[in-house]
Chain A
Amino acid sequence: MRLRNIVKTNIGLTVIIVAAILLQGISAFQYYYTRSLLAEELEKRAESEITTKVVIVKNALNMAENSLNGHLWDMKRNIAYPDSMYGVAEWVLRSHPNLRGCAIAFVPDFYPEKGRFFKPYAFRKPGSQNNEDFVVKQVGASGYDYTKTGFYKVAESRNTPFWSYPYYNDVTDSRVVTYCSPIHHTTNDIMAMFCLDIDVEWLGDTLNYRHIYPSSYNFLLTETGQLIAGPKFSSEKKRLEMEHIIQLINDSTGEKSLSNSGRSTIFSMKDADGDEGIVFYAKFKGQPRWQIAVVCYEKEVYGKLRMMRRTIGILNLLGLLVLGLIIARFAKNTRKLQKANMEKERISSELRIATNIQKEMLPKTFPPYPERDDLDIYGMLIPAREVGGDLYDFFLRDEKLFFCIGDVSGKGVPAAMVMAVIHSMFRMASAHENNPARIMQTINETSCEGNESNMFVTLFIGVLDLPTGHLRYCDAGHDAPFIVSKYAANKEADANCHLSIVDSKAHLPVGVFDDVKYGMQETRLQPDSTIFLYTDGLTEAKNEEHKQFGLQRTEKVLTCCAEEQLTPQQILEKISQEVHQFVGKAEPSDDLTLLAIRYTPKQYESTIAETLTIKNDVHEVTRFSSFIKSAIEKIGIEKSLARQLRLAVEEAVVNVIDYAYPIGSEGEITIHVKSDGRTFRFQIIDAGVAFDPTMKEKADTTLSAEDRQIGGLGILLVRELMDSINYEREDGKNILTLIKKLKD
């Protein structure tokens, strides 16, 4: 688990480790494979060296033996002349330049005239530069009984020729090995020992004339492991090393025979300098049963391989270093990329959240007012990107529908932020203002303050008075909405045309200049009409051929909708479906925002309708009180509710008496009471100055007695006791309508 974490967290390190292991593995394999090849090669070369050197040595020995045998006849022919034996010995020596000496040691008393011991001996003069400088003399004497010497005795007992151990010959002053061949009479008795001395120094030189490796050397041993001939060492160290090897060979219990298997025996050792040495050695086939050894050094056999290994090691290390650097760089980039990705992920998740927040801000429950039968609204916003810069909103206040649609310049997050700001500004500005132009003015002034990014918004704000169908609106550079009507918009228009465009004086968009004067326009909405608002995401929706959906297509679809008398939801679904089909696989170019408001006021059929006209005098309240009491009594509701109604309307009337006409001036106030038994409608009409009591700030009911203001209680009670309060100014008159639902 921990390893997995390490691998996960440090991929770079892991790659380097794996690469190092692989490289090391490959190198090791290469090394050991090459080494084994070299070892094989070494063995082959050593064996061939041994074979060659054995042949050379044997050749030399055979030549010596042959030259002896060649002169044997000469000797036997002249056997009768003892002095001629000197010549024979000399001739043997002359015939073979590598012989040190030649002696014929006769059995005692062979030539009586020559004394008991007769051994003519020819040898090269020691120290002479001339190889042909011979000394011939008789060496046998009573003081030198050669029959007592080892080789004579051995030759006598064996009665066959043999090669002696190496020994120092003081006559010739050299180390030699002697070939000793018994010479027989016709009677098979030995008559003499014919001896040849071979200089071991020469043997050693011959043996080491050429080496398989520069420092390797060869030497000969007797059967019992005594050194016969070897290289000339300049250093004592080397000589001791060779003696050590000889010791090792003598101690080894391994099979020493080369002859049968064809393979020499190998063992390794360490030399004086600590170098690994490999020794091959083998026994001669046949006589003499000498041994030959070839010594090689590993540093020479595997030296180049080792160097190669070191070089490869260094190269590997360099390679890993480069790899490490590349990985580090790569990892850095990857981390950057990862970070960037995470950042991107974070941003897009925040964008999702922003989209949700944006969606939360807009009205999202449809139908929004299921309890109302005079209003049906449907809206949709389909962002082009994650978040859009379009907005729409609507809300009801005092029987007035406030609505807006807007399009912020640009798209994405900045547009969405501006959109959110504009949205909340709309809510704030229209909380205490019924005039759409003034609402627009407020929004514009506020949004121009510190608008560093120069973003602007096209905005359409409408206020629909629900009791009258009076539509007030203000257009700040936005596409004018359509009115889908059951009736022809005007008489000149084609009877089939149910479509008109709201006449709008387009002002500058919001956020451009803070001193723009926005003007209000108004119209009256016919019953069963639908206001269709949209952003340019509809008309400018592009298909794959970059053609726009356009106004004509919009009109066509809307005409269809009008003929089919579709509900707002159906209209929007049909439009968005058409746009979707039109755009096809093309990338959505802009947010698509649609809002449809259907206005269907119901005719009010009252069973009770009373009217009273009073003067703007507080004493008229008494007259009004009795009027309202009797009117409410006629509706026939329970006492408590009746008192509530009476209180509400009294407060409203007193409010109008107090404020409708300037102090000192006289005016009339007309009061209508209507009821169908289900609802109670109360209307106060006066011709005074425009005064909207619904705009009065609501008194704060949570304050303490000390902080409570004396005023503001009346309108508070009206709002609390009635279901809705609506103010409308029409034809120079203030119309205040109070509605209370009596039963569902």
Chain B
Amino acid sequence: MNTKIEELDGKYIATLEGEMDTAAAVEAEEVLKPLYTNGKDVIIDCTGLEYIASSGLRILLTILKGAKACGSKVVMRGVNDDIKNVFKLTGFISIFEFE
């Protein structure tokens, strides 16, 4: 999978592409770690994300917790139905913001 972070208009935009299984999540976390304690709003672009396992969800939750602690927001963008269903099953749908 591909993972990258961009900064635009004072916000971070994290783009996730491909399948984020348990193994991929280990690599993705290395890229996304700066977002854990950044203090800025984060947009997580999932337009290209096809699959996410619970280890991926854990990373998203850690980002969210970090942002909330600094008073900034995390917004999910372009989440497909299958992944949205996973959010539903885990109760993440009510703690994340969606565009």
Contacts and interface: CB of A to CB of B under 8 A. Distances in A.
A625 B62 contact: no
B61 A621 contact: no
B26 interface: yes
A503 interface: no
Given A647-B51, A717-B54, A704 B95 contact: yes
A714 B26 contact: no
Contacts of A643: 50-51, 82
Interface in B66-95: 68, 81-82, 85-86, 89-91, 94-95
Interface in A603-633: 618-619, 621-622, 625
A710 B58 contact: yes
B21 A701 contact: no
Q: Provide the main secondary structure of the chain B interface.
A: helix
Interface residues of B, number: 27
B11 interface: no
A708 interface: yes
Nearest to A719: B89
B95 A621 contact: no
A647 B53 CA distance: 6
Interface in B8-23: 19, 21-23
B40 interface: no
B21 to A, nearest CB: 5
Interface string A673-707: 00000000000000000000000000111111110
Contact of B90 (A618, A619, A654, A713): A713
A622 B95 CA distance: 30
A102 B68 CA distance: 159
A664 to B, nearest CB: 19
Interface in A627-647: 640, 643-644, 646-647
Contact of A705 (B21, B23, B81, B95): B95
Contacts of A651: 53-54
Interface residues of A, number: 30
B61 A710 contact: yes
A643 B81 CA distance: 11
B54 A640 contact: no
A721 interface: yes
B22 A618 contact: yes
Interface string B15-59: 000010111001000000000000000000000001101110110
In the A-B complex, the 7 residue pairs with the closest CB atoms: A701-B91, A713-B54, A705-B95, A720-B89, A621-B23, A714-B54, A621-B22
Given A622-B23, A644-B85, A713-B58, 16 more contacts: A618-B26, A621-B22, A640-B85, A643-B50, A654-B22, A701-B90, A702-B91, A705-B68, A705-B95, A705-B96, A706-B65, A708-B65, A713-B57, A713-B90, A714-B54, A721-B89
